[in-house]
Every structure is written in structure tokens, then in C-alpha cells.
Amino acid sequence: DEVFRNLFKETTQHLKEVFQLPEGYHIAFTASATEIWERTLQNLVLDKSFHLVNGAFSKKFFEFSKDLKLNSEAVIKEFGQPIQQSDLNSIPRETELIALTHNETSTGAMLLAEDLEFVRRQYPNQLISLDIVSSAPSVKIDLNQVDSAYFSVQKCFGLPAGLGVWIYNDRCIEKFKEVHSKKTTGTYHSLGTLHEFALKNQTPETPNVLGIYLLNEVLKDLIRKGLETVRRESIYKSTLLYTTIERHAELSPFITSKIHRSVTTIVANIPNSKQLIDKFEKKNMIIGAGYGSYSDKQIRIANFPTHSKEQIEFLVDELENI
């Protein structure tokens, strides 16, 4: 009804303001960012995508392409090794879509802005898809450089999981039309259907009204506080954490290249992570374990806007005492 359409319109306007989206960019809502992986491959790729893999989540996206029987290829880095500009030279010209991850949550490796710009310059005809799940909007990202970007709300937006946000431009719509004419692109959540309903400020199915309402409220808070302030605070908090980790006798940063270290997902090596995690839990501070086979060798610390400077300073004090 009209109340929801107004909410949809206001939320998308706030998203466009936060991400400084130009004309020709659109927004649709899904159930998760994971769903957007599938929709991207079904709707924007006829034969071949190319994936820059530097961790568990970028690898899963590549595996989706295999499940969908695409002839996709990838550069697969050793776990914890960031994407370098040399990796970007191996992208085949015949690829239709280049999949990049801005912030690999499993490793704490971040893509450099100049590398994103390099891909856009070198591959002007390919679609570029960017995973911004665990860094947006805490880190400024120029979405003019990409055709598709996506996130879910449980990281930097501090909300319960269950809502994905897909940002896509007119080039994606044109590509969808080509793909749709030649193969199945999905049903109620094909890009065509999502876009058709989004133009009317609606969703194809009964919407996640609460999720969209809460996202809108968080966006208003971020705009009120100022994105520059949020980003300055994020850098301050991450610098504090990395400095503490580097000085600590038992801890060391997992990402050795300083320029590739995530601002929002701080990953540190430690001989027995469970012991440290349990100590912090007793003090009502929850820090994450390493990902996959690194679960008992690493800790992961979230640095999102919901984490205040005081909380991070307190966490750092506790780390120094261990």
C-alpha cells in the first residue's frame, strides 16, 4: 500500500545519498547478499564470469558459478593474500562479468581503490560486480567504478540478518535483457522482476517491512552523524587495534601488507584463540574466531559504526593486559 511505497522510496533515496549514486543506478531488496550472488550469475552472465578470490566468501561466489554450469574462471590467492594489481592483468577479455570483493570478511583483506579504478579502465566493456558486505558504508567506495554492488545489513548497519541490498545500473538491465532472451533468469526474483517492482517502490513478494524500516532509520542516523565522521572514527578505531596487535607479544596481524588491511574486520594470529575468546566472553566482550581451518589460530574483531570509540578503547586495554 501507499505507506510501504513511501517507506521504500525514502529508504532508496537515503541509500542513494549515503552511497552518492549517480543517475542510472537502481536499488532492489532481496533476502541476503548470498542470494544476490545467485541472481547476479543467473541474470548477468550467459557463459563466463571471472572471480578474484582471496578468501572463503569470494571463493563461495566462484563455486556458485560452477554450480550453475557456467564456464567461469578465477584467480585464487592463498588464504590471507590480498588481491594485487598483477592479479588483475589475467582477466580474460571474453569474460562478461568481473567479481571483486572489497572486504574479504574471512581474512581481513581489503581491495585498494586504485585497483578497482584499474579494473574499470582496463575492462570498460565488462560488468563489474563488487561485494561491499562488510565494509560499506564505513569505508568510502566509489560505486561509479562498478555496475553492481551489494551488501546485507547485519555488518556495518548493525541490524538482524535477513535483508540484502542490490545496487545495479542501467548496463545491468541491458545485459539482463540479453541473457533473459537466451536462458532462464529466475522467477519472482529475476533482475527484470525486481527492477519492474522497484520502479513502483514495491517488491515482487510480501516485503520485509521491518527490515527495510530499520535500515531506513539507521541510514537517517548515519546521515545525521555524517559519513565523514563515521569513516574517521572507523580509521581511528582500526589504527588503535592494529597498533595494539603489532605491539602484543602473542598477537600479530594476519594481513602483512598494511595498505591491504581491512578497516572493519581486524584479523590477528594467536596460538590459542579459544582461550582468549573465552576470557573476553567472561568480561561480556564477544570477539570472533578465525575462519574455517584458522578458527583456533586467529581472532577476528569487528569494527563497525555500532562499536563506539569507548568500546574499542576498552577492548584494547583488555588486550594489553593479557
* Tens digit of each residue's pLDDT (9 = 90 or more) over 3-19: 999 999 999 999 999 99
Question: Among candidates 169, 202, 172, 201, which has minimal Cα distance to 185?
Answer: 172
CA 268 – CA 80 distance, rounded (Å): 11
pLDDT score recorded for residue 231: 98
pLDDT score recorded for residue 119: 97
Residue 125 has pLDDT above 90, yes or no: yes
Tens digit of pLDDT for each residue in 76-118? 999 999 999 999 998 999 999 999 999 999 999 999 999 999 9
Residue 304 has pLDDT above 90, yes or no: yes
DSSP-H helix ranges across the chain: 2-19, 33-44, 56-67, 85-88, 113-122, 170-180, 191-198, 209-225, 227-247, 273-282, 309-320
Tens digit of pLDDT for each residue in 46-83? 999 999 999 999 999 999 999 999 999 999 999 999 99
Binned at pLDDT 50, 70 and 90, residue 178 comes out as very high
253 burial level (CB within 10 Å; 0-12, 13-18, 19+): middle
Mean pLDDT of 157-172: 98
Cell numbers describing residue 5 = 511505497
pLDDT score recorded for residue 120: 97
pLDDT score recorded for residue 12: 98
Share of the chain above pLDDT 70, in %: 100
CA 72 – CA 66 distance, rounded (Å): 7
SS3 253: strand
Sign of CA dihedral 40, 44, 48, 52: negative
CB 19 within 8 A of CB 27: no
Residue 322 has pLDDT above 90, yes or no: no
Residue 321 has pLDDT above 90, yes or no: no
pLDDT score recorded for residue 61: 98
Binned at pLDDT 50, 70 and 90, residue 314 comes out as very high
Rounded to 10 degrees, what is the CA torsion of 232, 234, 238, 241?
110
Tens digit of pLDDT for each residue in 184-203? 999 999 999 999 999 999 99
pLDDT score recorded for residue 103: 98
Binned at pLDDT 50, 70 and 90, residue 291 comes out as very high
Residue 167 has pLDDT above 90, yes or no: yes
Averaged confidence pLDDT in the chain = 97
